[in-house]
Structure 1
């Protein structure tokens, strides 16, 4: 697909090696097409990894996407070079007067904190509010999903005794929703979190629709405002070794982290991970772009409200 991303972004070379067609801004400017504007607020520690994971999934559509990366002014990442942030990311202040067809807000390693104790809570909730009037559809992932549900709808989070860690079977509650077009009766989703939102809190709020859940991992997908807000508590964007890297990082250091379940061949961490979620990850992202962004956004992007 003609995916427009910033010149020299590391993801470009990685994805070209995977035979994924990407187009840097220099070439894209020669094409007279109204691209869909997608902004990504990347709160994950390893920015380059998350950029690549998300761009890979966004590439699975014939529509032209113009991707912009947003950062917080109130937080300086420790694991990404300042040069990378300066070259490829823009502060919210630079983007607040623009409108976007779609937005993705990632997870963040702050879930064990109370929301109001997160140092950038005020800025990130300002962005949550801004998205309601400046973005056609916003996809909230993991911590962002919990934070968005709390900020917009007052849904609390609850600590878990053990990290929800592994790959879990999910079931669509309404399989006819466009977000699930092409899905099987069940699908797998990686989870990596220390907190949860609960079914009973979601279903008693008439503004929210619980659209997918798991007997093991609980609430997985929630929708509001006809798809203008979609909250995903897991990580369909994860690649094969993401959970493995997290496990090796925390092994022996945290008593609340066990081996990721339903992940390694034979449940043996000496074996390679088995990827069982990639097809549905591609489907979900392409369905989101097609049905909740492209088919809902006005041609004149300034008419988003």
Structure 2
């Protein structure tokens, strides 16, 4: 597999932890380009993180939009939501594969399909077992009851995803919260959980949040029940990105 150029729009609070999460999750063979919204200047600038340049986006092989600690706000109240939608439009126009994570998934589904997120009574927070609903390159190598971490205060309901035209729902928790969906054309992946998190990811989030709940099913900070899911998922996603890159190269040769 040739080196892939993957952009990451970093919206998470702890930018350095997010950087290390994705470096670790994506492994070698990937050249990462880190961006923050122009409309959201950094309080602590980092030399590795640059303002989003939409002119650069068409040169990328794929784009990741991370989660953000703002999922209890309406999209209209998020001052950089408009910039995110501009990015989504450029990605769509150039058929660039996307991985939209947690709030990024909700924002993309709202923009692309008009779906609305709903507030959860309690934060969905912990490591949960899942059921695959459909066969997909992203799920076919995962075992029954595979584990993935979730950390959010809102959802797009499973029923809304199932009823929407153009979306395939791939995996849900035992309590019927979505984990993974894709667009029918396969270009867009919507990951509601945080498979990029390293071993201490849930507990690190707990430490940042005042009066937040402790993660369920992850009582021991040294436990890492989603490690194999993480490796399998990101390997599969990068393979799809590589296939898309090769196909596009053959069409333009």
Common fold by TM > 0.5 = yes
Q: 1:35 Cα deviation (Å)?
A: 2.6
**Distance across 2 between alignment mates of 1:116 and 1:159:** 15
Query: What does residue 53 of structure 1 align with?
Result: 21
Report what 1:296 is aligned to.
Answer: 244
Query: Given the superposition, is the C-alpha separation of residues 38 and 228 from structure 1 closer, same or farther in structure 2, using an over 3 Å criterion?
Result: same
Q: Is the 8 A contact 1:99 1:301 kept in 2?
A: no
Report the equivalent of 1:30: none
The structure that has the greater radius of gyration is 1
Aligned to 2:113: 153
Out of 177, 181, 187, which is 1:218 matched to? 177
Residues 29-48 of structure 1 aligned to structure 2 (within 5 Å): 35-48=3-16
CA contact (8 A) 2:58 2:91 kept: no
- TM-score, with normalisation over the residues of structure 1? 0.77
Task: Return the alpha-carbon distance in structure 2 between the equivalents of residues 259 and 137 of structure 1.
Answer: 34
The answer for the alignment partner of 1:286 in structure 2 is: 235
Matched, 1:277 2:226: yes
Q: In the aligned structure 2, how far is the partner of 1:196 from the partner of 1:94?
A: 28
Among 223, 245, 259, the alignment partner of 2:214 is: 259
Aligned equivalents of 1:209, 1:45: Cα separation in 2: 30
SS in 2 for 1:160: strand
Contact 1:166 1:192 in 2 (8 A): yes
Choose from 148, 162, 173 the match for 1:203: 162
Q: Which residue of 2 aligns with 1:188?
A: 147
User: Is contact 1:164–1:217 with CA below 8 Å preserved after alignment?
Assistant: no
Q: How does 1:169-184 map to 2 (within 5 A)?
A: 169-174=129-134, 176-184=135-143
- Give the secondary-structure state (helix, strand or coil) at the position aligned to 2:96: strand
The CA deviation at 1:301 is 5.8
| Structure 1: 4+ residue segments shifted above 6 A | none
Q: Displacement of 1:217 after TM fit?
A: 5.6
Distance (Å, rounded) in 1 between the aligned partners of 2:166 and 2:176: 23
Q: Is the 8 A contact 1:100 1:135 kept in 2?
A: no
Q: Is the 8 A contact 2:123 2:213 kept in 1?
A: yes
The answer to whether the 8 Å contact 1:99/1:302 transfers is no
Instruction: Report the CA distance between 1:303 and its aligned residue.
Output: 7.0
Q: Does structure 2 retain, via aligned residues, the 8 Å contact 1:168–1:191?
A: yes
Q: How large is the RMSD of aligned CA atoms in angstroms?
A: 2.2
Whole-angstrom CA distance in 2 between matches of 1:135 and 1:240: 33
Q: TM-score, normalised by structure 2?
A: 0.91
- Cα distance in 1 for residues equivalent to 2:247 and 2:148: 33
Change (3 A) 1:34 1:168: closer
Measured after TM superposition, the shift of residue 258 of structure 1 is: 2.4
Distance 2:155 2:230 in 1: 21
